[in-house]
Every structure is written in structure tokens, then in C-alpha cells.
Amino acid sequence: MQTIISLRRFACLEFIFLAILSVARGADEAKDPPLSDYIRPLVGTQGEGNTYPGPTAPFGMIQPGPDTNGGKFCGYDHADPILHGFSMTHLSGTGWWDLGDFLFIAGVGEPKFFPGSDKEPRSGYASAISHDEETALAGYYKVKLQDYNVWAELTASDRAALLRFIFPESQQAWILTDLKHVLHWDVVWSHVRVEDESTITGYHLVHGWAKERHLYFAARYSRPFKRFKIVSDGKPVVYGGDRFRTRSEIEGGALRFQSRREAAGANLQFLAQYDTKKDDVIQVKVAVSAVSAENALKNLDADLPHWDFDRVRAETQKKWDRELSKIRIEGTQEEKETFYTALYHALITPNLYQDVTGEYRGLDQNIHQARGFTNYAIFSLWDTYRAEHPLLALIEAPRDADMVNSMLAHYDQSADHLLPVWSLQANETWCMIGYHAVPVIVDAYFKGVQGFDPERAYQAMKTTAMNPDYDSLPDYDRLGWVPCDRETESVSKTLEYAYDDWCIAQMAKALGKEDDYRHFMRRAGSYKNIFDPVTGFMRGKDSTGKWRTPFDPNAHVDVTEGTSWQYSWYVPHDVPGLIALYGGKDNFIKKLDQLFDTGKPIDRKNEELYGLIGRYWHGNEPSHHTIYLYSCAGQNWKAARRLHQVVRRQYGNQPTSLSGNDDCGQMSSWYIFTALGFYPLCPGSENYVIGSPALKKAEIHLSNGKTFTMTAENLSDKNIYIQSVTLNGKNWTRPYLPFGELKNGGSIVFHMGPEPNKQWGVEDEGESTK
């Protein structure tokens, strides 16, 4: 695009030409490259990030992408030079395996029907790849399959993927579909069916992290098959004329079915075979559906009625331009790549999970028609309630409302009458703890997200919080804490329930339910019951009220993915109360300092790879609010130092840049808020906590049409400390940014300097919420 800019000076004609080009590419201003150009899909694909580099539309239903040999949680490991092929679905940034449905790979020569053995990963259909022959951009992925001299390119629309393969000359060219391929888990059953000489459909049932996942696909090929073959358990499916021939009877090395056009079983592959000339292009378009093969075909034909690869790619880029323009920043190339890639990662999940017909598979495995909302799936709520959904509430309000409605549908379909915990495509994975659909709903409600029924949502939240079976809720309700002798991770559960209950209480109050408000506010105070003043930590307590003994705050006991050192800061809804438990602000800050400073020298490797600063662990979500507690306690300058440290060392534009699982966008959303200078420490509350901006300027285009502008005057690598703040033209001294000051648009100006102004932001003394 820089070449194009230089052309602008010549003539008016060129200007018009460029204006058209620029509109076509979705850039608002012809002088800037389109925002999607800053997307670096490889960020987070090496190390702990677990993102995947394949193309996707914003919140798209299909995520085609490369799966490497090592079996990374989300399919691809940038450090792995062996590629199995391209599967159609991927999670983004999770710390556990699932999806990876329906792998496609193209090659030449004798085809193989398994990816390769552990010892010899290239003994099957897998191929070597090189990053020198790999491109990953918004809506586009390209790589050379070195073993076959085949180039593969991928793009995706909302519900369909388009694969472009460029072949060498061969009498044995092929495109293989492996229905048995998923990431890590088991394909229980599958079928495949040749619909016509250039169309197939298929299905598989996967017992994975999602315990029962039914998925269909449809694929159309730009060139009719020269020949085709179905392979079952490694044997070609051939015509068999015997009676009772549907059962897999192996005869002469082949499986004798009556039909060679369809087969069913647990291990199926389909092979499209061609003769190719050099540089012959064969494309495959693929769509999925959780409802039926028929719907997969409908999704395919509705989304991709043509074969124009570049058009699909351009349209998807335009969608990204549109989404990314919701926060428009100024900064260096690296800052823009880092920021817009973070925003890209934040706007992939939750994913559309509804066919063009409006049908979707519900948690009850019935097929439902979405009425009055669009259904989304994949709710990594323990992660995303923190910053991802608060971000969506600001800039993606209509979608956030759809997501709330999707969660309410899940509740309606739940045998347990529970809102989602960690839901994955018509399944509850029961991963992690708490009931964090609650803060998502309550934050959306108080942030003015329209389009869901607050009363219905409230009843779902209350019923969830009163569930008689879930994770010791009755004990918690009765005792005031989750007893460590009856329940694992009892400290974390107590703390997170208390916060969720505070959220319910706020909404109860707003809806005039005073009794409920009191009930849930009582529960919101439960955190106090597990604070041990002797050790100064949150500590397991058993059902008789005795502390967990022996106790080690560095032990992984009674705590979810961490230690008491990390979890003892978790009272987002009552930071003054927490500070009081620690004996006041000074003690609190002293303890907070100890979290980061263990006395040992910083281990840069541990910091950059895993996000560890002392005992602080940015690589996992329980720490995400912790730095901001400095601000709440009146020492914003200490927050500034740590925030800039994390931003610089644990984010960036490289494959290794993410220090922890992106977790469906939460790691990235933390960055986005932090770079803008404020953070939703307590979703559901009025206030964001002010940190320290990492960008010179940003325009936030809210979903209500208003624009809120952030400017960080004098910001530099050294000028990271707030000297003063001007909010909507007023001098602003509180370390909080109220939603009320933001929602109608306006501006915040941070005046930055190289030394802390220790007097700024002290006045609230920890009143984070009101």
C-alpha cells in the first residue's frame, strides 16, 4: 500500500482509481492501509498462546487452518515443521484440545490414509512445511506442502471455507479428506457420501472435551473427480455383490459394501483423484453444520455461490476492516500490529453456531430455530467475563446481546437448569469454576446492551446460583464458604461465587428485588470467611470451620490453577473490603509488592514465555486484575510500572508474543483495555480502573454511535506515569473512569511523564465499586 500512496501525486485519475480501490478494501481513509493489514494471525502460535493462524471471518462459524504434527490444543504449533493438513474448525487460544474437524490435504503420488506414525511423522499423508513458504494474513493462509510440491491457500467467509490447491503435473494428484482427524480425541462414528461427481457430504460424532459433538460438512470441488475412492479402516471400499454386505466384510484387502459412493464407520477417508498439469488449480469449498448435511450444503451455497477465491478473501478482509475500525489507534507499525492483532483475536470467539436456515443444535441435542437472536457457541466464560465480554459490551453490543440470548437458550436447554460454565458447541464441558455467565449478563445490562429480557436473564442467574447439585453451592449458601473437605478448589470457588453473587445482587436491586438483593449481598461477603488474618491469605476452610492445615500459600491446594499467593487478591467487587482485611492500604500494597518481588532476580525467560513476574502469573486469568489493585489502593504509579512491563514483554507482533493461552480472546482483551489506559476490574460495576495507557491516541467507536477518544500526551517508553488526567474537559483525579463519563462519547487525556506523580489518583482510597 505504500507504493500506491506514492502514486497519488500524479493525477486525478489515479486518485479516483485509488479511492475506489480503497473503498473496495474497506479502508476509511485512502492514505492509510486497511486496518486488516495489521493483523498478524501467527501471533500466539508458538509457546503458550495457542491461537491458530488460519483464516476466519469475525465471530465466524468456520475456522479452517493448518494442523501440525505435535497435536497442539488448537491444531497448529509454529515450532512444528510437519503439517497434517487443514481442518475446518479450531478453538482460539484454549488450554485444552477440541475441534479440528474434517481435515483436507492435497498431494501427488501414491496417497496414504493416515497422517503418519509417531516415530515417522512423514510416513503418512503429512508433509513438511517451511515458514519461508508460509503466509498468514487476515482471511488468508498460504503454505507450500513440500512433500508434494503443492501450494495450498485458504480463505473463509462466515460459514464456509475456500481451499485453493496449486498442483504440479501429475497423473496421481489427489485431495484427501480425513473424517477421523480431530484434535486429540475420538471419532466415534462417521459417514461420507458422494452426492455427485464434484460434491461430497459427511458427518462425524466426536467424543471429546465436548462429550457428544455431532458435526456435518459439505464440500464442492471446482473440478469433477477423475476418480474417487472411499477408504475405511485403511481399506478401499469397493463394490460387493454379496447379501448382508453393509457390514464391513474384509475380502482381499478391501471392504465390500454394496455402494462405493457412501460408507459409514469410525475411520473413513475420502479421496478425490485427478490428473493435473503444472500449476493446475483445483479449489474446494467446505461448510459445516451441526444440524445436517443438507444444512451444510445450504450454508455452503448461501455463503459461497461462486469460486472467486480473491473475492472471498477481500470480503473477509473488509469485514475485519469494519470490526477493527471500532477502535482506531495511532502508533508505530509494531504497536498497530500488536493492537489490531489483539483486537482480531478478541473478535473471533464466541462463534456463530447457527445455519443460514436459523437452525442450530441446542444443548439438549435438539435442533432449535433461533427466534429473535443469532446463536453463538464456545463460551470460555471463566476467562472471557473479565475483559473480553466487557469489551464486546462497548463495541459489539448487538452481538453481546445475541451471546446473552444464546446463553439463556443454553439455560433453557440444560438438564441441570444451569447457565453455561464453559460451553462448546451444544455441550457443557464443565471446565473451570463459578457461574460467570452472570457477570457477562450483568455487565451487559448495566452497560446498556439492549436486546435481551432482563427478567428472564435474572431468573436464569438466580436459579443457577441456587442449584442444589453444582459444586457445593448448598454448603456455600449455608456455611458462607465452600468447605475444603467436601470440594476441590474451595478457596477459588468461594471467592468467585462471592463476586458472581455481588453481580446478581446488583441486578436484583435494579429490578426491585430487595429480598434477593440482601440474600446475594450476604453471599457476596463470603470472601471474608476464608481470609485468614494470621497468615494473611485466603485459605481453605473445612465444613466444621477449621483452616486447611498445614498451609502453604505457594501450594496448589484449594485453588484453581494457582496458589493462594495468586488467588488472595480476588475480591473485584469489594476492593476496600479486601484492603481492610489486609489491615489497610499500606499493608495491602506491601503485600502486593511482595507478589511481584520474591527477592529473586527476574527470570526473563519465565516472564516472556509464561508471564511470571515473581509470583504474579499474567499467563493465567486469575492474575489479570491484580496489577490494577495498586490503582485502587491509591498507587497508580506502581500499576503503571507493572502494566508497561507486561505490555512490552508479554505482547507483541511475533508468533511467540503471547505469554499465556489467549483463551478465546481474554489475554488479548486485557491488552486492549490496558493499552487504552483503563480496565474493567469489576465487570457489572460502574467503574473502570485507570492504569497507564500504552498508546498515544485511540478512538473508541461505541455501539451506540458515540465516540470516546483517549489521548496520552507525551507518552514514550520512559514517560509511562500519569501526571494528570483531563476527562471530558475536567481535571480528573480519581483512579476510576466511570461508565457514565464514557457512554455518551467524549475524551480522556492522559498527561504522561517520566516520574510518578504520586499525588494523582489517591483520593478514592480503594472505592472501586459503589
Q: Which residues of the chain form contacts with its own copies (CB under 8 A)?
A: 96, 188-189, 191, 193-195, 201, 203, 205, 207, 209-212, 239, 241-247, 257-262, 264, 266, 292-294, 364-367, 415-416, 421, 427-433, 469-472, 487-489, 560
248, amino acid identity: S
* Residue 429 or 768 having the CB closest to its own copies: 429
Q: What pairing do the DSSP bridges indicate for beta strands 537-538 and 531-532?
A: antiparallel
* Residue 36 or 295 having the CB closest to its own copies: 295
Smallest separation (angstroms) from its own copies to the CB of 668:
23
Nearest to 246 by CA among 265, 224, 270: 265
Q: What does the block give as the cell for 653?
A: 507482533
String of DSSP letters for 528-544: GGGEETTTTEE--B-TT
Smallest separation (angstroms) from its own copies to the CB of 661:
14
Smallest separation (angstroms) from its own copies to the CB of 218:
11
Question: For cell 500506491, what's the residue?
Answer: 4
Smallest separation (angstroms) from its own copies to the CB of 313:
31
* Residue 46 or 563 having the CB closest to its own copies: 563
258: part of which helix (H) or strand (E)?
A: none
What's the CA gap between 708 and 698, in Å, rounded? Answer: 8
Smallest separation (angstroms) from its own copies to the CB of 412:
12
Nearest to 738 by CA among 678, 694, 659: 678
365, amino acid identity: Q
* Residue 41 or 208 having the CB closest to its own copies: 208
* Residue 207 or 322 having the CB closest to its own copies: 207
What's the CA gap between 430 and 422, in Å, rounded? Answer: 6
Nearest to 37 by CA among 251, 282, 273, 313: 313
Smallest separation (angstroms) from its own copies to the CB of 369:
11
Q: What does the block give as the cell for 472?
A: 457445593
Smallest separation (angstroms) from its own copies to the CB of 488:
5
What's the CA gap between 675 and 672, in Å, rounded? Answer: 5
Contact 163, 273 (CB under 8 A): no
Smallest separation (angstroms) from its own copies to the CB of 200:
10
What's the CA gap between 531 and 537, in Å, rounded? Answer: 6
* Residue 97 or 167 having the CB closest to its own copies: 97
* Residue 267 or 598 having the CB closest to its own copies: 267
* Residue 268 or 404 having the CB closest to its own copies: 268
* Residue 518 or 556 having the CB closest to its own copies: 556
Question: For cell 455463503, what's the residue?
Answer: 303
Give the N- to C-terminal CA distance of the chain in Å, as an integer.
49
Smallest separation (angstroms) from its own copies to the CB of 5:
51
- Sign of the dihedral through C-alpha 415, 418, 424, 429: negative
Smallest separation (angstroms) from its own copies to the CB of 235:
16
What's the CA gap between 403 and 430, in Å, rounded? Answer: 18
| Torsions phi, psi for 498 (to 5 deg) | -60, -45
CA distances from 122 to 117, 129, 143, 215, 272 (A): 7, 11, 17, 28, 21
Contact 446, 464 (CB under 8 A): no
* Residue 96 or 113 having the CB closest to its own copies: 96
* Residue 248 or 535 having the CB closest to its own copies: 248
* Residue 128 or 266 having the CB closest to its own copies: 266
CA distances from 203 to 154, 206, 218, 601 (A): 22, 10, 9, 54
Smallest separation (angstroms) from its own copies to the CB of 185:
9
Strands (E) in 127-185, as ranges, are: 127-128, 134-137, 140-145, 150-156, 160-166, 170-178
Smallest separation (angstroms) from its own copies to the CB of 456:
20
Smallest separation (angstroms) from its own copies to the CB of 210:
8
What's the CA gap between 173 and 169, in Å, rounded? Answer: 8
Beta bridge partners of 704: none
What's the CA gap between 684 and 508, in Å, rounded? Answer: 12
* Residue 427 or 669 having the CB closest to its own copies: 427
CA distances from 162 to 51, 148, 168, 292, 557 (A): 20, 20, 20, 20, 48
